[in-house]
Structure 1
């Protein structure tokens, strides 16, 4: 069973000069259940090298490694799966290349993305962005909680939300239909990535247990 509860999307700049692998390992020790390696500026060789090292680290904790966009890198390191955006490789092509048993997640930035995805056997949909965020500026309008409720009603897939998530609003996201929370700076930029992850994980698990309660 795929555990999407606390999904870390990496960003080296958000690590604030600290060792990238230390930040990720601390986050995993704090409760991160899945890690997506997102590298927009590395060469293919450097991306593969980083992915290999990260996969080795994550295997120790039995945490899946997802590669952002790059199916070739995922194949090269035998990653657990890929995450693709609406402008990346089509789902059908990614699925054919990766084969059965691999995780494939897809970004959903508007309602038509949710409806189209019903035809595919995705591992999860990433509702993006849930709230406005400075991390990604090339996205559609935020879904907000009302949009998330709509997505939950329309979709048969597990839903991860990303964009502006933190301990003060994670409970609301889970209560309104999300299966998991994806974050970047909320963990990568925190003084203690482990403590930040643990705090988020507690909010998420409380929301799963008591979805109707308020976030206090």
Structure 2
């Protein structure tokens, strides 16, 4: 057992183990191909409160209809809602359309890279801003969704972790050279390995750093694992 990732060498080893696992096991998803800031933003809006396997066909259909910011900004609101039909939580579609209009009118068709500026866009909160900034623009900022919260709570063996502490820990661990891959790796770890129930600890690439595993409390951490993003 290595214990919690502390110090430059420990953090580097943690990042290396996580990213090596991600490189071997990452899911083949359509928004990971031909990445653009627009494609990343659309995927993040769709993945809010919706499972990956549900999103895939809707995402592919959406991209055929609205392939870029201009196409979406030029669409009628009713057409946007119609294309979203079946995904639910229609405020997401309305906010995504408003974001496209803002990108066209305020930013000349180019999405800003700064996470604080991203948060000024309709429907973009702290998580989505961090995900887009890191994945689309390589900014070394954390993206803490429900899956990442659970992974961090178990790594630190926290029963009811405060959001601020988890964000600080995520910011400390994020790989400055591969921030987008690191954030996706953490999300994927929570979705596929460090599941809420029946976690597959024997397959976890960072089990050696997990305090909850050492303490035998994995199944009890965190007490409340509410999610912002579905697995």
TM-score, scaled to structure 1? 0.30
Task: Give the structure with the higher percent strand.
Answer: 1
TM-score, scaled to structure 2? 0.29
Q: Which has the larger radius of gyration?
A: 2
Task: Give the structure with the higher percent helix.
Answer: 2
User: Which fold has the larger relative contact order, with Cα–Cα distance below 8 Å and residues 6 or more apart in sequence?
Assistant: 2
